[in-house]
């Protein structure tokens, strides 16, 4: 049976210091979280990485190197980005670390949840934020100071584990549900949907292909908040195909979805 | 007015890696805790310390170098030691990190509270544990793995700040009480009391001076749990003096207590 915490992955984007990757692996392991994904780290394998991992070598060995954030998130159902502070002005749902732990614990093990950490100095870009359905921040004494990235990962993983333990202690053992259409759609399925949507909107000239950014951003947020199931995405894509005068064909697996000209 | 978190101090004993001191200073600063005390660190001032402090230079500059744990704790009212796991077999009150944060928040700002962290590999010695009134551990996924010391300080400081914020949000602003005899006794006052107690017990031949350890250990725990006020300590010492046929004289300040032969 899948352990709930196995459904969490930690994504680090363009990490500069290899030592931080090692410290992050150790932080994850202390809290029982093992799935590390590294998007274009400056340097990964260094003696410092291994020294600071201090025994979390299994996490480093299994860590997945990804060439894009999109690739790192492909099998995830829900993506939570980290921000240095509460950004109430941004139009994403916002959580603090404790709320995030509770949210994550309540949605495991049905959903694969990604927690995305940006660069050491500059965090996540606006484009990367577009891939997130919610934002989490760690409360701090000063807004102008910042946590080390491994320390931030330590606190978020700690809160996820604490909340998961609390929930497990209070509920009877559950029957693992079979993978199916009523599960939330994966990020890969959502990406295919957004591409499909963009194509469709360009075709009907609702969207300017030379400047699709703002509209698509708002649509991403909208559908991201809905957190649709796979069957709902199938319906949405069926509608798009119908608008396009195309036929939408579902392959054998719910994850392998393609649009074909008829 | 003293901020509640100013009443917390972090004590690190014989830290081996100067980088860990820097990381600890950064972890403390993010959570608004500033009082760092270093008992015989292997090396303190190194480029690594400053690099990893990453702007928490003020904490490093004000950090107090101490030649003994006793000296580091002299002005503290309550001492909480950290242990790698829940040690239910040990006869100290035990807390996890969240309970510790709540306990600390409820007792600030009246008490100066020390959180003591042992060596990176071996933690606290039994003798050092004797100076603690309670133990805290951070829940982990595996008992056989350990947190980096700065990561442990990060989580404990985070829990203290979170709990302090919660309490402050829920209570009206309070009047700071004047320093007085109804405050909990400082560790220095308690140490003088224990020395006095030991002398007295040896004098009445209740205690073998060649092997005072076990009995004194139990008595330390007992009085540690009581967490007496300064006036209660004065009473206890008055009783001891009476047993000894001496006169117990209280000097001008409650902290300066001496026993004199009459």
Place of tokens 């579902």: A250
Instruction: Give the closest residue to A153 by CA, choosing from A101, A115, A104, A96.
Output: A115
Chain B residues at the A interface, defined by Cβ less than 8 Å, are 5, 23, 26-27, 29-33, 52, 54-56, 98, 138-142, 145-148, 150-151, 154-155, 158, 161-162, 165
Least confident of A146-160, B121-135, B174-188, B217-231: B174-188
Strands B247-250 and B257-260 come out as antiparallel
Q: How far is B154 from chain A (nearest CA, A)?
A: 7
Residues of B in contact with A5 (CB under 8 A): 141
Place of tokens 């702007």: B55
Tell me the C-alpha distance between B110 and B101, whole Å: 15
Binning pLDDT at 50, 70 and 90, where does residue A1 land?
low
* The token pair that represents A127 in the structure block: 């484009």
Strands A35-39 and A64-66 come out as parallel
Q: How would DSSP label each residue in A220-255?
A: HHHHHHH--BHHHHHHHHHHHHHHHT-EEEE-SSTT
Residues of B in contact with A56 (CB under 8 A): 145
Per DSSP, the three-state class of B239 is: helix
* The token pair that represents A19 in the structure block: 């030592």
What CATH number labels A187-260? Answer: 1.10.8.590
Asked if B146's CB is within 8 angstroms of A162's CB, the reply is no
Query: Domain locations in chain B?
Result: 4-170, 187-260
Residues of B in contact with A151 (CB under 8 A): 23, 26-27, 30, 150-151, 154
Instruction: Give the closest residue to A120 by CA, choosing from A24, A233, A232.
Output: A24
Tell me the C-alpha distance between B220 and B241, whole Å: 19
User: Which of A154, A162, A164, A166 best tests the B interface by mutation, with the highest count of B CBs <10 A?
Assistant: A154
Residue in chain A closest to B143 (alpha carbons) equals: A30
Among candidates A54, A148, A161 on the partner chain, residue whose Cβ is nearest the Cβ of B141: A161
pLDDT value of position B257: 40
A141 pLDDT exceeds 70? Answer: yes
**Which class is A4-170 in CATH?**
alpha beta
pLDDT value of position A172: 59
Tell me the C-alpha distance between B179 and B230, whole Å: 10
Least confident of A54-58, A233-237, A252-256, B180-184: A252-256
What ipTM was assigned to the predicted interfaces of this complex?
0.73
Q: How far is B83 from chain A (nearest CA, A)?
A: 15
Stated as kind and residue range, the H or E segment containing B11 is strand B8-13
Average pLDDT over residues A223-231: 76
User: Which of B4, B5, B16, B31 best tests the A interface by mutation, with the highest count of A CBs <10 A?
Assistant: B31
The reply to whether domains B4-170 and B187-260 share a CATH topology is no
pLDDT tens profile B131-183: 999 999 999 997 778 899 999 999 999 999 999 999 888 765 544 444 456 67
- The gap from C-alpha B7 to its chain's centroid, in whole angstroms, comes to 11
- Asked if B155 and A98 count as a contact pair (C-beta separation under 8 A), the reply is no
Rg of chain B over Cα atoms, rounded to whole angstroms, equals 19
Tell me the C-alpha distance between A196 and A200, whole Å: 6
- Asked if A76 and A49 count as a contact pair (C-beta separation under 8 A), the reply is no
pLDDT tens profile A152-184: 999 999 999 999 999 888 765 544 444 456 678
Beta bridge partners of residue B226, listed in sequence order = none
């Amino acid at each position: 049976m899948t352990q709930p915490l196995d459904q969490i992955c930690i994504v680090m984007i363009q990490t500069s210091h290899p030592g931080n990757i090692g410290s992050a692996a150790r932080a994850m392991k202390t809290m029982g979280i093992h799935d590390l994904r590294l998007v274009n780290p400056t340097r990964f394998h260094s003696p410092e990485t291994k020294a600071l991992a201090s025994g979390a070598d299994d996490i480093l060995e299994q860590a997945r190197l990804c060439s894009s954030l999109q690739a790192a998130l492909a099998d995830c159902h829900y993506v939570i980005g980290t921000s240095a502070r509460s950004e109430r002005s941004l139009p994403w749902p916002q959580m603090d670390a404790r709320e995030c732990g509770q949210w994550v614990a309540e949605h495991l093990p049905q959903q694969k949840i990604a927690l995305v950490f940006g660069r050491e100095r500059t965090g996540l870009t606006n484009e990367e934020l577009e891939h997130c359905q919610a934002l989490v921040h760690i409360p701090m004494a000063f807004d102008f100071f910042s946590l080390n990235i491994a320390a931030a990962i330590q606190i978020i993983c700690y809160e996820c584990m604490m909340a998961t333990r609390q929930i497990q202690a209070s509920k009877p053992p559950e029957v693992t549900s079979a993978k199916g259409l009523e599960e939330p759609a994966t990020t890969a399925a959502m990406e295919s949907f957004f591409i499909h949507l963009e194509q469709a909107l360009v075709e009907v000239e609702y969207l300017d292909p030379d400047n699709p950014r703002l509209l698509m951003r708002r649509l991403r947020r909208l559908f991201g908040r809905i957190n649709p199931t796979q069957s709902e995405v199938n319906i949405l894509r069926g509608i798009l195909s119908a608008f396009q005068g195309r036929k939408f064909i579902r392959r054998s697996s719910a994850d392998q979805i393609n649009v074909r000209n008829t």
